[in-house]
Amino acid sequence: MLATLALASLFAAQAAATQPPAAAATKVAPMTVQVQAAAGADAGAQVWVKELSAALETRRDEFRLPKKGEKPELVVRVDSVGKGQNELQVMNGTLLIGKGSHPFNLSYPGEVAPQAEKLARNLRKYADQLKTAPASR
């Protein structure tokens, strides 16, 4: 019985050694992204565009700007920024991916920059989920 366990452990270790590392198997190409303000958007939207663009620019493993003439895979459109409840700000936006349009809003306290970084940190995960989600109307 002990020999069987030892052999099973040996075979499992050998099989694991022949498998490529999980990180290498899941590496994906950076997604092309563009951040823009909606037509006629307020100054708060422009601040969000600037801060989110800067946050995404640092995440080169996940995102890149489209080359000239290239259509971005993901467009983050900042529609408006306004006051919410309990002294929170609310950023209304839309994620445009493929032919889908996915509106969202983000309530936040304080400065835009830390919130833009949080959104940038999670944006690839959201975008990958939305690639297969039905579009909102």
Per-residue pLDDT tens digits for 49-101: 999 999 999 999 999 999 999 999 999 999 999 999 888 999 999 999 988 89
Q: Round to whole Å and give the CA distance between 67 and 130.
A: 23
3-class DSSP state of 126: helix
Amino acid at 57: E
Domain ranges in the chain are 28-130
Nearest to 115 by CA among 85, 88, 94: 88
Q: Round to whole Å and give the CA distance between 39 and 129.
A: 27
Task: Band the pLDDT of 3: cuts 50, 70, 90.
Answer: very low
Task: Band the pLDDT of 38: cuts 50, 70, 90.
Answer: very high
Q: Round to whole Å and give the CA distance between 42 and 45.
A: 5
- Please check whether the domain covering 28-130 is classified as CATH 3.30.160: yes
> Which of the residue ranges 22-31, 61-70, 94-103, 118-127 would you say has the lowest mean pLDDT?
22-31
Q: What is the pLDDT of residue 23?
A: 47
The residue ranking higher by pLDDT, 84 or 7, is 84
Q: Round to whole Å and give the CA distance between 55 and 76.
A: 13
Report the side by side order of strands in the sheet with 74-83: 63-64, 31-37, 74-83, 89-97, 100-108
The mean pLDDT of 104-132, rounded to a whole number, is 93
